[in-house]
Structure formats: C-alpha cells, structure tokens
Structure 1
Amino acid sequence: MDKLRALLQRTVRQYMGADQFGNKYYYVPEQKTWTGQKTRAKRIIESVNKKEFEYELGHIPTEWEAWIRGKRKDPPTIEEILRNEKLREDVKTKANEVAEKEQMQQSQENKDGDLIPPQKTQIKGHASASLFGRQKPSEEPASTGNTFQPGSWSPTQKK
C-alpha cells in the first residue's frame, strides 16, 4: 500500500546530506499531487533509530535541527558541524577549569580563615517614604486617627 501511495504522490526527495550519527536529511520541494493539490515544501530526516522511543537528546546535531525547523536556509556541512562540536567541547572544558579554580580559591580562603562571613543588609526604607534619610522616626505622631471626624477634612489651597 505504501508503494502505491508513493507512486501516486510521486514525491521527489532531494538528498541534502548526512550527519556523523548516520541520519540522512532530505528536502521535498513544493509540488502538485495527482489530484491537483499543492503540497508545501518539507524537510525530512531519515533517522538511524527508526523507533521514536529510542531517540535521545543530542541524536540530531543542532545545526541539522535548525535546518529541519527552517531556522537556516542552507544545510550545514560536515566541517561546520565538527568545528562547532569542537567549540562546544572547548567551552565545556574552560567552564570546568573555571569552576575548579573557584572551588580551589574558596577552599583556600576557608583554610586561611580570611573569608568574610556574609553580612545582613540593613533595610533603610524606600526613597519615597517620609522617613527616608532620617536616622530615626520623629516622636510626634503623624496620624490623626483618634481625632478624625468624617467630612472635616478639606484640602489646603496651593500657594
């Protein structure tokens, strides 16, 4: 049945390349089917692992995944993939070196006793608060809660 469908649809796939894992990538251009319907262009991967549950993150190189999703126009070359893979490995090794260096510095500071314990921050208040910048609040109450009468307030006139 699949062979019959393939004959009727006459899909023309263009081989675009393969990656280091053995996955093959194809481009199917926009075309008309035998019924007159237009099919849009597709980018297809023929995976080494035919079963979806065997797929794991990293089985498709990032560059090919970007091409499949239409994020890049041209398919990547093997040289580009290998160069980017080497760059990623360099970044990983440099990150590990920096992490080890920081860990060594922290352990050295702990041994020397020169480590300054973290201090608590003082909450001074917000700049729009009436007490901002003052050392202590005034002794006079700012509220008129005990003497307030409804309707007794009137706004002061601007000068």
Structure 2
Amino acid sequence: MSEGRSILGMILRNFILSFRPRQIRGNLAGKDYFGNKYYEIPADPRQGKRKPSRWFEPLEKEAFDQELPAEWEAWLRGRRQDAPTVEELEKNLEIMKMKKKNALLIEQEQAVAKGDTKEVEKLSPPTTEFPKYEEYEKYPGQKT
C-alpha cells in the first residue's frame, strides 16, 4: 500500500477545510468616471482557484446596457493583470474627448468644402439656449 495518499484522509481533510470561512465579498479594485465599482477576489491555488474572480457593480442597477471604459473591460476579462490607475483613466478620457472634437471639426471642414450648409448646421455642436418666443416679454414691462 502507498503511504502518501489515502482516500479516507483526503475526504476527512476536505471536510474539515469546508468549515473554514471563505471570502464571499470582493475587494474594491476601483471606480470609473461613470460611477461603476469594480471588485476582485484574488486567486487561491490552495483551494484550486487559479483565476481571480472579477465583477463590477453598475451605478444604475436597472441599466443593462452600461458603457464600460476599455481599460476596465480588459481588466474584467483578464486581458490585463492590474487594475487601471486613475491617472491612466483620466489621460485616456482626455484623448477620447480630443479625438471626438477633431473628428467633428474635420467633418465640418469637409461639409464646408462641399458647400453643404445643411450638413454644417447638423454637425455643429448642440446649443443649450432656451427657446425664444415673440409673445413673451424679455424683461418685465418690455415686449422686445
């Protein structure tokens, strides 16, 4: 008989280990600029867990079509080991805003070159002014 492993010993050891408390709640890994929170339970090879468990908690519980930053999505899917830093997220957000602004300017320039004024109006950034009506007074006691 082999002295190293016995089935009864393995069953008894696993039974005793099953009473140890397990980590159910994850460690907060970070937040994104949308307000989502990201959690992780690290891998524990002693318990046969080779990969960490990662998930996120959305800001709005009912919104199933949440937008996630690319850095956090890569972390959730295991494509990157470490969670993104705040500096990295801010830098990439500024780059994204700059690219959107430049794309809008290029589209406007192309529309002007074609001479399409309707396209230029459609591409111009939306204004947030209040509507103006002739029947309402601009200043109290004055019609115009």
Normalised to the residue count of structure 2, the TM-score between the two structures is 0.56
Residue from 86, 95, 104 that aligns with 2:94: 86
Residue from 20, 26, 38 that aligns with 2:39: 26
Q: CA–CA distance in 1 between the matches of 2:86 and 2:47?
A: 36
Q: CA deviation at 1:37?
A: 5.7
Q: CA–CA distance in 2 between the matches of 1:71 and 1:91?
A: 25
Per-residue CA distance 1:39-92 (angstroms, 9 max, x = gap): 3421121222233xx12242x222111110112121111221121111111111
| Map of 1:133 onto structure 2 | none
Instruction: Flag structure 2 segments of 5+ consecutive residues without an equivalent.
Output: 1-18, 117-144
SS at match of 1:15: strand
Instruction: Flag structure 1 segments of 5+ consecutive residues without an equivalent.
Output: 1-6, 109-159
| Map of 2:114 onto structure 1 | 106
| Structure with more helix by fraction | 2
Q: CA–CA distance in 1 between the matches of 2:21 and 2:72?
A: 26
| Map of 2:64 onto structure 1 | 55
CA contact (8 A) 2:58 2:66 kept: no
Which of structure 1's runs of 4+ aligned residues deviate more than 6 A? none
Matches within 5 A, 1:111-122: none
| Map of 1:11 onto structure 2 | 23
Q: CA deviation at 1:31?
A: 3.1
| Map of 1:44 onto structure 2 | 55
Q: Which amino acid aligns with 2:48?
A: K
Q: Does 1:64 align with 2:72?
A: yes
Go from structure 1 to structure 2 and tell me whether the alpha carbon gap of 1:69 and 1:42 turns closer, same or farther (over 3 Å shift): same
Q: Report the count of equivalent residues.
A: 96
Q: CA–CA distance in 1 between the matches of 2:40 and 2:103?
A: 38
Go from structure 1 to structure 2 and tell me whether the alpha carbon gap of 1:106 and 1:89 turns closer, same or farther (over 3 Å shift): same
Residue from 60, 81, 88 that aligns with 1:73: 81
CA RMSD of aligned residues (A): 2.5
Normalised to the residue count of structure 1, the TM-score between the two structures is 0.51
Q: CA–CA distance in 1 between the matches of 2:47 and 2:104?
A: 55
SS at match of 2:115: helix
